Each structure stands twice: as structure tokens, then as C-alpha cells.
Structure 1
Amino acid sequence: MKRAPLRHGAGTAAGAARRAATPDFRPLYRQVKDALVRRIAEGRWTPDKAIPSEFELAADLGVSQGTVRKALDEMAGENLLVRYQGRGTFVAAHDEPRILFQFFKLTPDDGARVYPESRVLTAGEIKAPRATAAALALPAVSRVIRIRRLRSLAGKPAIVETILLPAARFARLTDAPIPNNLYQLYATRFGARIARAEERLKAVALSAADAGALGAKPGTPALLIDRVAFDLDGRAVEHRLSACLTDAAHYLSDLK
């Protein structure tokens, strides 16, 4: 298979050298997609500006428009891009309505999709817990930013979260007010765009601390969501533990 030149946005010089020495047998559109994802990861494309047209990208990368279109279609399907009729194609922002629920799955039993409101309980820097250091591939002595916040659905406390982030990467995050939409903050302020997450779900009994935050009794049944979120480079960015009350809500997973 003939490889695309991929002259721009193909990654670092070291990465380019490795690729030149190693045959790439993936479909050409996947190689193009990787080059375009790299542009987002490097901050060369931002949500506020339309990306180049298919014709321009094809000429830039030395491939056909059909190959570029297939790469863009896959990126749009993964919520990395969003197309607007008459305006063009943009990098998707985490605050757009159709993106908001990509990583938030707790849904009221009446079926209404409601994005939660948040109130920060505490925020500070601590030594990384062992489980977090492992989840984020950090040395055992690393420091992390720890945020505890309460999230409410329709005004009713439903989730208490513990969010842990590498302090070195998210330096001074707590110096400013912490917004409801953290993933948008990570992308715009720290250049860490969340691309995917791995979750483990488990039935638990609320600890005294979590129960107190939620206004429930210690030992109340709850759903614990243990999530590790990854950026476009595949690096673990965030470890999040969410204790959820499910007496009036459920976890919705749309399997396709």
C-alpha cells in the first residue's frame, strides 16, 4: 500500500523518523486521521475556528478528498469534530449540547437528560493515593490535585465526586473558580482534551463522608463509578470516583 506523504501534522521529528523506518500497513484514511488528531492535540485546531476544507486537507496531505472525508467522518463519529451546515467543520467543544452527555451517564428515571449542577466542597494538593498513582501511571511520590464536589440533578443531591489530577500537569488549577464543566477547562486552559474514558461500576454502601455530603445515611446503597480519562495522546489525565444515589436515577449506556 502506498503511504500518504502526511507532510504536516504528522507528529514529532522522532516520531516521523520511526514511521519512516517502520512500514505502516493501516488503511490510508486511518493514517490521515492520526495526522489530523495530532493537530487537535497540539492545539493547532481550536473549536472557535473552522478547520480547512476537505480539498485543502487533501492537497496538504497528498491524498484524495475521499480519503480525507472518511477520516473526518470517523472523527465526527467519535465526537472530535462537529459539522455545521453552511459554516464548516469545527473541533467539538465539551460544552456543546451533544457532547455534554458523552461522559455523563446518570439519568433521572423519568428519562429526561439533565446535566448536573456542581458545588465544590474542597480542593487542594495531596500525595497521590496508591490507586490513583497506578491509574495515572505516576511515580508513587507524585502529588495530585484533589477536588471534592457535590453534583445535583434538578436541585437534588445525587453524586459526590472525588477528582484527582497530576499536579505537575494541572499546576495552579485551583487558583481560579472551578467550573461545572471540567473537561472543557482541561482543554482550554491546559491543552488536555479528553478523548475517551474507562469506567468500572460497583455497588457500594456510602461511607460516612459521602453520605454526609449527599444528605443520606451512612451505609445507603449507591453506585460507585471509578473512571480514568485519557487525552488524545492516550495519556491518563484524570482519576474520578463518583458515588451516585440511584433511588431516582439510573446509569444509561447507549450501546451501538
Structure 2
Amino acid sequence: MNEKELAELSGGVESLGFRPLYRQVRDRLIRRLVDGVWAPGEPLPSEIQLAAELGVSQGTVRKALDAMAAENLVVRRQGRGTFVARHDEERIMFQFFKLVGDDGQRTFPQSKVLALSLARANAAERAALKLAKDTRVIRIRRLRSIKGAPVIVENIALPEPMFPGLAAMEPPNNLYGLYAMRFGVTVASTREQLKAVAVCEADAEALGATPGVPALKIDRLALSLERQPVEWRVSVCLTEKLHYLSELR
């Protein structure tokens, strides 16, 4: 069976468990990202090379890479090729950080770690991160500021087996970059739940705000390339001068 026949077959019976050929190629390329074959920022082989290696057409490889680019897993650079996406501040700002100034200006926040600890996961952390009963988690509480003004308090939980040694480090401002470069864990997507809340006393003290003022609570679960939970982050955000912006691409 040639590629065209296989593509027509897999596209026509996807509901029976088959996947279009370009999706199969995408999955194989993502597996290489998971296995660390290509590091963040590294160029991928050319479409012609990948097509020859995988035994498919260049058009199929191009479609697979386009799908990965739409998912922000790779970056296409005109005349230069395709590169594994980095978790730099610019990418995080547009893909994961959704708070924008009411004037439309995007600013990546600066962070101050308020607390860092290692403990056995509680019931909520086990449920969110799908952890076994005795798994330990790294807990990080941070204050984040924009233009010097405190606007966000974050409580973060990480599976300790996935990030060995992080509890003894001083976490940088860009955590997703640290996960990828130091631990080989790429945050590929997130699931968020938003809710209007009143700021509690502890968060108000950290933010320099009045207890009970309105705030936006963002409950975010970060997922790896393999769709595995890697981070649970709950943020309480003051939005007097900010708004949440979600853009479809």
C-alpha cells in the first residue's frame, strides 16, 4: 500500500481508531522531543531528510510540522528551518501568561519566592497531579510584580520525582524554562479554570492589599508533551489595572 492509499484509509476510518498519516508523523516527532533527541532551540532535520527517514512525502512532514507549530512545540523560521520551541519569556508571555494591562501592554512579571518546601502530597495535590499516596511534592509560593507593583500570589505544587533537586535550588523567574533545560520536562499545554474571589488575609498581606478586595483566581494544570500533569499552580491576581486575554490562533 502506498502513502496515498494509507492516508486515504487512515483519514477515512479515523473514527474506528485510525489516525491521518500526518498525525502519525506528528506523534513520532513529538516522541523524539520527549526522548530528548532534539533539545529546546535546536534545529530539526529538513523536511526532505525527515520524509526520507520516515518513508512519507515531504508534504506529509510539512503538515505534521505545521500542526506542531500551531501547538507552539516548534518554531518555523523563514529561510532557516524548523526549531524546537524554547520556553523563553516571550513565548511564555504569549502562550501561558494571559494577564495584559488595560492599556494593551504585555509585561512579563518579576518573581519573589516567599516560601519553598518539600512535603508529602496532600489529597488535593494527589488528585490534581495524579500522584501515588506517598509521593512528595515541591511547594513554591511566589509573589509576582509588574512594573514594581505586586499583582499576583502563586502557590505551585510539583511532583518531586520529576524535579529531583529543585527543592534545594533558588527557583528562577522563568520556571518553565528551568523545567525544560534542567529537567527535560517541556510544558506543552495547560488547562485553566477562572473564578472571581475575595482576597484572603494571607494573600492580601503579601500583595499589600485590603483583605476582601476582588481578585481573579486562576487554577492551572500544566501538562507535558505526553499529556502528563507536571505542575499545579493556583494564582490570585489583582486586576484593577489588568485583564485576562485569551486569543485563538
Which structure is higher in helix share?
2
- Calculate the aligned-residue CA RMSD, in Å: 1.7
Do the aligned partners of 1:81 and 1:89 also contact (CA within 8 Å) in 2? yes
Q: 1:33 aligns with which of 22, 26, 45?
A: 26
Mean CA deviation greater in 83-92 or 31-40: 83-92
Unaligned runs of 5+ in 1: 5-22
Question: Counterparts of 1:131 and 1:83 in 2: how far apart (Å)?
Answer: 39
The one-letter code matched in structure 1 to 2:200 is S
TM-score (norm 1): 0.88
Counting only pairs closer than 5 Å after superposition, residues 204-215 of structure 1 correspond to structure 2 as: 204-215=197-208
Partner of 1:168: 161
Q: 2:111 aligns with which of 118, 126, 146?
A: 118
Partner of 1:100: 93
Counting only pairs closer than 5 Å after superposition, residues 45-84 of structure 1 correspond to structure 2 as: 45-84=38-77
Partner of 1:42: 35
Question: Counterparts of 1:255 and 1:89 in 2: how far apart (Å)?
Answer: 22
Aligned residue-pair number: 238
Unaligned runs of 5+ in 2: 5-15
The one-letter code matched in structure 2 to 1:198 is R
Counting only pairs closer than 5 Å after superposition, residues 1-256 of structure 1 correspond to structure 2 as: 25-95=18-88, 97-256=90-249
Question: Counterparts of 2:202 and 2:133 in 1: how far apart (Å)?
Answer: 25
Q: Aligned residues: percent identity?
A: 60
The one-letter code matched in structure 1 to 2:45 is P
Question: Counterparts of 1:215 and 1:225 in 2: how far apart (Å)?
Answer: 19
Deviation at 1:177, TM superposition (A): 2.2
Partner of 1:20: none
Deviation at 1:221, TM superposition (A): 1.1
Q: Secondary structure at the match of 1:217?
A: coil
Mean CA deviation greater in 80-89 or 158-167: 80-89
Mean CA deviation greater in 199-208 or 53-62: 199-208
Do the aligned partners of 1:93 and 1:99 also contact (CA within 8 Å) in 2? no
TM-score (norm 2): 0.91
Compared with structure 1, are the counterparts of its residues 96 and 116 closer, same or farther at alpha carbon in structure 2 (3 Å cutoff)? Answer: closer
The one-letter code matched in structure 2 to 1:200 is Q
Question: Counterparts of 1:98 and 1:231 in 2: how far apart (Å)?
Answer: 16
Do the aligned partners of 1:101 and 1:115 also contact (CA within 8 Å) in 2? no
